Structure 1
Amino acid sequence: MDGVVSFDAAVDLLADVCARGTRTILIGGRSGSGKTTLARAVAERTGHKVVHLDDFYPGWGGLAEGSRMVARDVLAPVDPGYTRWDWGNDRPGGWVPLDPGEVLIVEGVGTLTPENLRAARRRGTCVTVRVELDQETRRARALARDPEFGDWWEYWALSEERHAADAANVLSDVDLVVAGG
């Protein structure tokens, strides 16, 4: 799976690797790049569960902690799950349990870290995906999806930059690069 592939080709490739026994797909990229759209398309094709980091980042300052929660909680070998974030009340919500035997598609900013990759590989075969798209298009898409994001776009973008600048936080080499979906 070398080079940059189109969205449709990525869906086909990821559905195929799921059919061949892949246990975890980690989809990362910047806000608005098409991670969620890709994850949903693969889930529709395969019937596998999607876990969205947006469901559990602990607030707008929570990118780093949300990233750590993937390995620690979502991909935990025993009692996996996550504490949903109540965005409306800016506080933790309820626990969402996951089945440790379930194939998972995990998507969000902060998904592609060495720690998360190690945790995913403990579950079995894992495929890593980075979705790329230019900043102007990403911003327009993100704000169309969630107009309240506009108040936080610059703050979140700085969090993304800080996260990506730390080589220990990101995978420089992924299995598949997708032109934004």
Structure 2
Amino acid sequence: MRTDPGDLAHRVRAAPARLGGSRLVCVDGPAGSGKTTLAGLLAGALGAPVLHLDDVYAGWAGLDGVAERVAGQVLAPLAEGRPATYATWDWARSRWGGSASLRPGPVLVLEGCGAGDRLLAAHASLLVWVEAPSALRLERGLERDGEALRAEWVRWREVEAAHFSREGTRGRADLLVDGAAPPVTLLAHGASGVE
């Protein structure tokens, strides 16, 4: 079934607020699946900010630990109605490079591998899983980051596969989305049956 960001935005608005007075939309799935594209379209339809986990991973080894950092630095203050300030990663220098802030608002889109971590689930109004064929995902990643980072991509894919298996993210998703080609294709309603 074809859908569009406006349809997804309607689903978000209909979902319960679980992050204080805000709705947290978690867009998860393997690297290169189309999460960033979908999150941007959804954020545009909702007038919402996007927190890209690429900004808060501690480099290529940063998937483990990202949920704890997001829970403590971002979600805890937002749930209390306070602004959140979080550390950002400088990929060019391979170190923490600064900080960014978010104010409480009606919706926050959290995008990236690990956005659907169980540690964050209590605050999530909607968990969206985006998938695409493995070869396409690798092609997209190398197109974005360059062939020189192929070894990093291969390692990341192994780490994320273990993470998703451990977390059962796809099986807990409210919506499954085919990120292979626009327009967005809704594959199925997931765990919550959000209509």
- Answer whether TM exceeds 0.5 for this pair: yes
Please give the secondary structure, in 2, of the residue aligned with 1:26: strand
Match of 1:150 in 2: 150
Corresponding letter in the other structure for 1:176 = L
RMSD of Structure 2 on Structure 1 (CA) = 2.0
Identity, % of aligned positions: 36
Higher relative contact order (CA 8 A, sep 6+): 1
Residue 112 (structure 1) aligned to one of 91, 116, 128: 116
In structure 2, stretches of 5+ residues that fail to align are 18-22, 182-195
How many residues are matched? 169
Match of 1:103 in 2: 107
Deviation at 1:70, TM superposition (A): 2.5
Instruction: Report if aligned partners of 1:31, 1:142 keep a CA contact under 8 Å in 2.
Output: yes
> Deviation string for 1:137-165 (max 9, x for gaps)?
11001111121542311111111122123
TM value normalised by structure 2: 0.78
Please give the secondary structure, in 1, of the residue aligned with 2:64: helix
Q: Structure 1 residue 26 and structure 2 residue 21: aligned?
A: no
Deviation at 1:101, TM superposition (A): 3.3
Matches within 5 A, 1:19-168: 19-20=13-14, 23-76=23-76, 77=79, 78-120=82-124, 126-147=125-146, 148-167=148-167
Q: Which moved more, 1:32-41 or 1:149-158?
A: 149-158
- Name the CA shift for 1:105/1:37 in 2 (closer, same or farther; >3 Å): same
Instruction: Report if aligned partners of 2:88, 2:100 keep a CA contact under 8 Å in 1.
Output: yes
Q: Which moved more, 1:142-151 or 1:17-26?
A: 17-26
Deviation at 1:56, TM superposition (A): 1.0
Instruction: Report if aligned partners of 1:142, 1:149 keep a CA contact under 8 Å in 2.
Output: no
Determine the C-alpha separation between the residues in 2 that align with 1:34 and 1:105: 14
Please give the secondary structure, in 2, of the residue aligned with 1:64: coil
Corresponding letter in the other structure for 2:9 = A
Q: Structure 1 residue 175 and structure 2 residue 169: aligned?
A: no
> Deviation string for 1:61-120 (max 9, x for gaps)?
110112322222221234423211011111112121211335200010011122111133
TM value normalised by structure 1: 0.84
